[in-house]
Amino acid sequence: MRMYDLILRKRNGEELTTEEINFFVNGYTKGEIPDYQVSALLMSIFFKKMNSRETADLTMAMVNSGDILDLSMIDGVKVDKHSTGGVGDSTTLVLTPMVASLGIPVAKMSGRGLGHTGGTIDKLESFKGFSVEMPKEKFMNNVNTIKIALAGQTGDLAPADKKLYALRDVTGTVDNVSLIASSIMSKKIAAGADSIVLDVKVGDGAFMKTKEAAFELAHEMVEIGKNVGRNTIAVISDMDQPLGLAIGNILEVEEAINTLKGQGPEDLLELCLTLGSQMVILAGKAKNPEEARDMLLNTIKSGEALEKFKEFIKAQGGETDVIDDTNKFEKAKYIVPVKAENSGVVERINSQKIGLIAMELGAGRATKESIIDLAVGIVLNKKRGDHVEEGDIIAYIHSNDETKAEKAKNDILDNYVITKEYNNEIPLIYGIVR
Ligand code: URA
């Protein structure tokens, strides 16, 4: 088999066989096929696309390129949740204890973030002493006993994806639905989930900028799940404004704790209930979304989800006194209000820009080497559709640097669009693809 022939066949719009897909994924992972040939193939895939069989084959070839976690020691249906990425997205922190307190095992692999804020692990390190380093036996034991454990990426999961993603990044071939879908699904499948709930974000702060593109990606991932025997459901949700109010690591953790106490922002809770309901159904604990939703709401009302969160943080070495009193979290030196310069209604909040402003304050990593400042970020005080009078506070900047705070103030004002005529009805949930 020759790579040259695969490139020609795809360039001419033909379908690649399973063997051909395995050939190029294995060859590239082992360093036997050069970047320039794989780049040419990726560009051909970009223009000529892949069908769902080819996409499933590509996914499984990437899964089989490295370790596949065996979670069979964990009792029950393992349901994983994945978000395609957004601004101020702390759903994992809220959702996992809610679901775990219903007896559904949550065995989660998470990463550190390269972007507006840290990843889930960075956020959880807001708890002094919290660690994701633990032997496999302890991880399994924690999931079996308290139903929740979170580890960093261990082993070598889907190394082919890592290599291909890096190449796509520099060859203009990231935004192809088959390539994104197979990339995301390969990592989830290698991480051992039986069933997967996907949160596909759409809007300014998301990968997918249009509803059509988000639905296409959702259908593709659900189809891959079906083709490889993992029940997969995708929720399409709004990322045309940040989720909740907080953007920043400790700030988002505080917001998650407040949500678990029943005092969080409505949109964050609603999205957690929607995603959580699908997880509960996939785990076989409820028959329909209404029943699942009631069960989940009850975990908040009864305090069980909050207790589960405490149990989880403690089991991984974290101090939990901050959960009872979030004022004990480290605070930024300067908390600077941003005031509206005119009256009207908030028509838009440019999510991506707001995320970048938080990153410039130090909440996220611009490069892998950047050090995150856990205390800094932005807390929104007004969201889309809210009325504001000139001088009203629209957001608070949390910064450890006065100059950066001053710059952030102007940048936030530039990215809040306040108009007289509000005409921007965007739903939180666009739909669910099964
Ligand atoms: N996230 C991934 O993991 N892969 C992609 O291709 C895009 C987003």
User: Is 384 annotated as catalytic?
Assistant: no
Structure confidence at residue 282 (pLDDT): 95
Structure confidence at residue 309 (pLDDT): 98
Counting from 1 in the atom list of ligand 1, the atom nearest the Cα of 180 is 6
Residues framing ligand 1 (Cβ under 6 A): 165, 174, 179-180, 183-184, 207
Give 169 Cα–ligand 1 centroid separation in angstroms. Answer: 10
Task: List pLDDT tens digits, range 365-397.
Answer: 877 788 999 999 999 999 999 999 999 999 999
Q: What would the two tokens of residue 201 be?
A: 């974000």
CATH number of 3-48: 1.20.970.10
Give 69 Cα–ligand 1 centroid separation in angstroms. Answer: 20
Assign domain 79-324 one CATH number from 3.40.50.300, 3.40.50.920, 3.40.50.261, 3.40.1030.10.
3.40.1030.10
Task: List pLDDT tens digits, range 85-97.
Answer: 889 999 999 999 9
Give 180 Cα–ligand 1 centroid separation in angstroms. Answer: 5
- In Å, how far from its chain's centre is CA 29? 26
Atom 2 (ligand 1) nearest CA: 184
User: Is 219 annotated as catalytic?
Assistant: no
Task: List pLDDT tens digits, range 6-44.
Answer: 999 999 999 999 999 999 999 999 999 999 999 999 999
User: Is 161 annotated as catalytic?
Assistant: yes
Per-residue three-class SS string for 228-277: CCCEEEEEEEECCCCCCCEECHHHHHHHHHHHHCCCCCHHHHHHHHHHHH
Atom 7 (ligand 1) nearest CA: 180
Task: List pLDDT tens digits, range 243-282.
Answer: 999 999 999 999 999 999 999 999 999 999 999 999 999 9
Q: What angle do CA 17, 23, 24 make, to 5 degrees?
A: 100
In this prediction, residue 230 has a pLDDT band, given cuts at 50, 70 and 90, of very high
Whole-angstrom distance, CA of residue 313 vs CA of residue 164: 35
Per DSSP (E only), the strands in 84-206 are: 106-110, 148-152, 195-202
Structure confidence at residue 114 (pLDDT): 64
Task: List pLDDT tens digits, range 296-341.
Answer: 999 999 999 999 999 999 999 999 999 999 999 999 999 999 999 9
Give 167 Cα–ligand 1 centroid separation in angstroms. Answer: 12
Residues of the chain with CATH 1.20.970.10: 3-48
Catalytic site residue from 81, 168, 188, 308: 168
| Mutational pocket test of ligand 1: of 83, 165, 178, the residue with most ligand atoms within 8 Å of the beta carbon | 165
CATH number of 331-419: 3.90.1170.30
DSSP 347-390: EEE-HHHHHHHHHHHTSS-SSTTPPP-TT-EEEES--TT-EE-T
Residues of the chain with CATH 3.90.1170.30: 331-419
User: Is 168 annotated as catalytic?
Assistant: yes
Catalytic site residue from 161, 204, 238, 240: 161
Q: Are 364 and 247 in contact (CB under 8 A)?
A: no
Task: List pLDDT tens digits, range 44-74.
Answer: 999 999 999 999 999 999 999 999 988 988 9
Mean pLDDT of the chain: 94
Catalytic site residue from 81, 147, 163, 187: 187
- Residue with the bigger pLDDT between 413 and 366: it is 413
Q: Are 129 and 327 in contact (CB under 8 A)?
A: no
Structure confidence at residue 16 (pLDDT): 98
User: Is 187 annotated as catalytic?
Assistant: yes
Residues of the chain with CATH 3.40.1030.10: 79-324
Kindly tell me if the per-residue pLDDT of 284 is higher than 80: yes
Residue 410's contacts (CB-CB under 8 Å, 6 or more residues apart) are: none
In this prediction, residue 154 has a pLDDT band, given cuts at 50, 70 and 90, of low
